[in-house]
Amino acid sequence: MIVLARSGRKRVLAFLLLIPALALPAAAQAGEPPGRYTIVPASTDGTGKVYLGREIAQVMSFHGALWLERPERIEEERPGRLLSALGLKPGMTVADIGAGTGYYSWRMARRVGARGTVYAVDLQPEMIKLLEGQMSQHGADNVKAVLGTPTDPGLPPASIDLALMVDVYHEFEYPYEMLAAIVRALKPGGRLVFVEFRGNDPSVPIRPLHTMTEAQVRKEAAVHALKWVKTARDLPWQNAVFFRKTSGN
């Protein structure tokens, strides 16, 4: 999620995006089936770990959390438009995967209401603390912070009506394993939404490894029990790609 500086812009967002979170080099990771991931020399912003033809991006550290709460995000992402497209209803159980400071968590919490629940998942304990502070500030008592792992968000099985991932999937260290665990957490017929900055779009001021094309998202989702439903392309810089769980697994 690194924004490239544009000539004439008064703000510079790149300075805090990316202080990468520490991780073992990809080649040192154990327990991966041969051939699922390959290792290449790491490119700028990359980990050197490749999945289905895509180099996995470095993770944004909690040190960059202020960028997640930048005022410009309203204009750049139009969160209200995305939230409307999600079709959230009172009483739903939803998950914000890679929630960061909870920018979308408390907004979803208001839509699912007191009878609903939002699981806000992040992998960094420091980010969880920041998230909990934001939820307290917004009075989002129905948000439950969850500290996940690189392979599992830690959600109850078959419990989630909708899971949302905003500008985070491209950073998953173990995309296959994490996505499989998210699918297990979905109810039969539950929905999963990938929101990613549009790849190969010169109008999107984001570094390439922190973008994804719709085709790549669909390619990686197709490995799992997910059926493409629709793609919302009316956000300023992002695509929202919707899938539905196709089995009870």
pLDDT tens, residue by residue, 33-81: 668 999 999 999 999 999 999 999 999 888 888 889 999 999 999 999 9
Query: pLDDT tens digits for 211-226?
Result: 999 999 999 999 999 9
- Mean pLDDT for 193-202 is 98
Judge whether residue 31 has pLDDT over 90. no
Query: pLDDT tens digits for 129-163?
Result: 999 999 999 999 999 999 999 999 999 999 999 99
Judge whether residue 27 has pLDDT over 80. no
What pLDDT is recorded for position 67?
86
Q: How confident is the model at residue 20 (pLDDT cuts 50, 70, 90)?
A: very low
Element (H, E) at 86: helix 79-86
Query: pLDDT tens digits for 78-116?
Result: 999 999 999 999 999 999 999 999 999 999 999 999 999
What pLDDT is recorded for position 66?
84
* CATH code at 73-245: 3.40.50.150
What pLDDT is recorded for position 247?
76
Judge whether residue 30 has pLDDT over 80. no
Q: What is the DSSP secondary structure assignment for residue 18, as one 8-state letter? A: T
Residue 23's nearest CA partner among 164, 133, 183, 150 is 150
The dihedral sign for the CA sequence 179, 28, 59, 96: positive
Judge whether residue 10 has pLDDT over 70. no
Three-point CA angle 198, 210, 7, nearest 5°? 80
Asked if 148 contacts 100 with a C-beta cutoff of 8 angstroms, the reply is no
**Residue 131 is which amino acid?**
L
What pLDDT is recorded for position 114?
96
